[in-house]
A and B are shown apart, each in its own frame.
Chain A
Amino acid sequence: MRNVAIIGTGHTKFGVRTDVNLQELAWEAVKQALEEANLEQNEIQYFVVGNVGNWSSEELPAVIVGEYCNLTPKGTMRVEAACSTGSAAIRDAYLAIKSGEVDIALVVGVEQMHQAPNPQVVELIGRAGGYFWEFENFGLTFPGYYALHASAYMAKYGMKEEDLGKIAIKNHYYGARNPYAQFQKEITMEEYLKSKPVAYPLKLLDSSPITDGAAAIVLASEEVARKITDSPVWIVSQGVASGTANLSRRTDFTHIEAAQIAAQQAYKKAGIEFDNAWKNFDVADVHDCFTIAEIMAYEDLGFAKRGEGYLLAREEQTYIGGKIPVNVDGGLKAKGHPIGATGVSMAVSIARQLLYRAHKGTQVEVRNGMGITHNVGGTGHYAYVTIYSTRRPSK
């Protein structure tokens, strides 16, 4: 099996993008990624489109995007893995190259949630749980699913509302420094505590917004990557797992089991020990669709012991200069969460961090040359953990 590297990245401004349609939005990211890789469309052998859709009008987005970006007639598919769709799209292209099927592939994650009115988006996302038993009869919303975890976690470990607030404050702090972010504004603990309840104990400022955005990466085999760039970012390993759709079928509501399994897989392939895994990484992007998700991510990735994730937030150990900088691009909370684009956006953030190309005020110090993304779809329906490095993987 061959090594695979990122050789080009693209990222649009996230937010309410009523100035462009879905394919125009995708093109913004694709164009940037092609330019960075110094490639023409005819050199892309395969492309994957990550898009969840329902809220946007086009039913077959991969083809629409391919046509607009002049990638047709190259092979394509649309990938869905809920909020981890982008990581799933990366996986498909990564495996296509790793297996030797193609040498160069493009991944674009794109979502335009604002094509539908906000109440209908709330309705559609709510249906993304175990639809029949948990939405049809009991009207769980997406914040509701994570709120169940938050209440269980608080009861078990004594975490306070303010600890969740610390996550929101950190992510807004960095969002304010990221010109691509939807919210470029810092928030205070007072504003956090006063923000509108959405699903107890979660408030508006615990929640990632409804977002439009796109991100793209060009992946290449080692041989091709070497010819094109002297600064590839290698995909070291990826772990992938799934969980139940019905939340009630789970035994534990204080962590995301699929995420932990995915992390263990990725660590094993990379030769990293789970305990103290954080020591290997300069930076992490984790799935903070709600603040509680980031706390659980710290534990599911082995950055903190079980039940101690909130202490990392309380002690501000996940700012730049702390134990392990997390979501210093603003995270989903402030950068925004265009569902199909999120995983690709994480890859772009980490690649640019490792190459010292992050925005002013968000650049970490790169010591190990290694970063990690943690992307959860649904509430642990899907999980993808991916490790990136500037050092060529040995195997």
Chain B
Amino acid sequence: MSLNEIRDKMQKEISQSLTILDNVIKTTKLPIVNEQKTNNPLWIDVREIDLRYQVPVKKIIKFFEGLREGKVLATKCPKCGSVYFPPQDDCPKCKISNLDWIEMPKEGEIVAYTIINVKPPSFSHYQDYVVGIARMSNGVNVLSWVRAKEVKVGMKVRLEVVERKPEGYLTYELVPMG
């Protein structure tokens, strides 16, 4: 399913419940429905929040440019040597900014993982997915999807830039080696 098809499906469900609510208001003059199990009356909100946040990424835009070149970048403090992943452009230890950008190593090992069966609605259009944390060869951890059906702690993985389907944006994944 494409993202729009998924949205259409979700919007259809919302429209159906709104139609029910409209009918309730029409017949009773109040947006109150009785809960099925207990018969407790519930006021159904007639106002709605449809919200997507806008997250500033100016300070780490190099990370996203890196993805376009097939690279997963981290930042490194030139003063204390701290490596930050997820990347950040401020070293709070040294209180300096404009850190160096380095490429994350490609090789790592799974230290923890899970398979998400019960998904949030905004992830409901994906098959059950594996989320893993890998310790990369520089000792820095990466959390992402693992592109494998069978995963084990200790499994060797490679960090790759991938296109997330169906949305089509660039992100990164851990892929089993060999």
Contact = CB atoms under 8 A, between A and B. Distances in A.
Nearest to A148: B112
Interface string A126-152: 100010111001111101100111111
A140 B113 CA distance: 11
A200 B124 CA distance: 17
Contacts of B45: 57
Interface stretch (A22-30, A116-124, A260-268, A334-342): A116-124
A130 B55 CA distance: 13
Interface string A41-65: 0000000000000000100000000
B153 interface: yes
Given A123-B121, A138-B145, A139-B129, A151 B116 contact: no
In order of increasing CB-CB distance, the 3 nearest A-B pairs are A155-B153, A147-B114, A139-B123
Contact of B35 (A18, A122, A144): A18
Contact of A139 (B116, B133, B142): B116
A247 interface: yes
5 contacts: A123-B120, A155-B153, A200-B117, A202-B114, A250-B141
A197 interface: yes
Given A57-B45, A122-B118, 19 more contacts: A16-B37, A16-B38, A18-B35, A18-B40, A119-B121, A122-B120, A132-B55, A133-B86, A134-B143, A138-B145, A139-B116, A141-B116, A141-B120, A148-B114, A155-B152, A199-B114, A246-B143, A248-B141, A248-B142
Nearest to B118: A198
A130 B88 CA distance: 14
Interface residues of A, number: 42
Contacts of B116: 139-141, 144, 199
Interface of A: 16, 18-19, 57, 119-120, 122-123, 126, 130, 132-134, 137-141, 143-144, 147-152, 154-156, 196-202, 246-250, 253
B115 A140 contact: no
Nearest to B34: A18
A253 B118 contact: no
Interface of B: 35, 37-38, 40, 42, 45, 55, 85-86, 111-124, 126, 129, 131, 133, 141-145, 152-154, 164, 171
Contacts of A247: 133, 143
Contacts of B85: 248
A249 B113 CA distance: 15
Contact of A248 (B38, B122, B143): B143
B120 A199 contact: no
A142 to B, nearest CB: 10
A119 B112 contact: no
A108 to B, nearest CB: 23
B141 A18 contact: no
A244 B138 CA distance: 20
Contact of A152 (B111, B145, B171): B111
A10 B170 CA distance: 52
A148 B120 contact: no
Contacts of A18: 35, 38, 40, 42
Contacts of B141: 248-250
A26 B115 CA distance: 37
A144 B153 CA distance: 16
A314 B42 CA distance: 44
Contact of B153 (A140, A152, A199): A152
Contacts, number: 105
Contacts of B131: 138-140, 144, 148
Contact of A149 (B35, B112, B124): B112
Given A139-B119, A151-B153, A155-B154, A19 B40 contact: yes
Contacts of B42: 18
B152 to A, nearest CB: 8
A154 B124 CA distance: 28
Contact of B112 (A57, A130, A133, A151): A151
Nearest to B37: A16
Nearest to A127: B120
Contacts of B38: 16, 18-19
B144 A151 contact: no
A154 B154 CA distance: 12
B44 to A, nearest CB: 11
Contacts of B142: 248
Contacts of A148: 112-114, 131, 133
A143 B121 CA distance: 15
Indicate the member of B45, B116, B153 with the most A CB atoms within 10 Å. B116
A149 B153 CA distance: 11
Contacts of A126: 120
Contacts of B113: 148, 151
Contacts of A143: 114, 118
A59 B156 CA distance: 47
A56 B101 CA distance: 42
Contacts of B153: 151-152, 154-156
A137 B144 contact: yes
A144 B111 contact: no
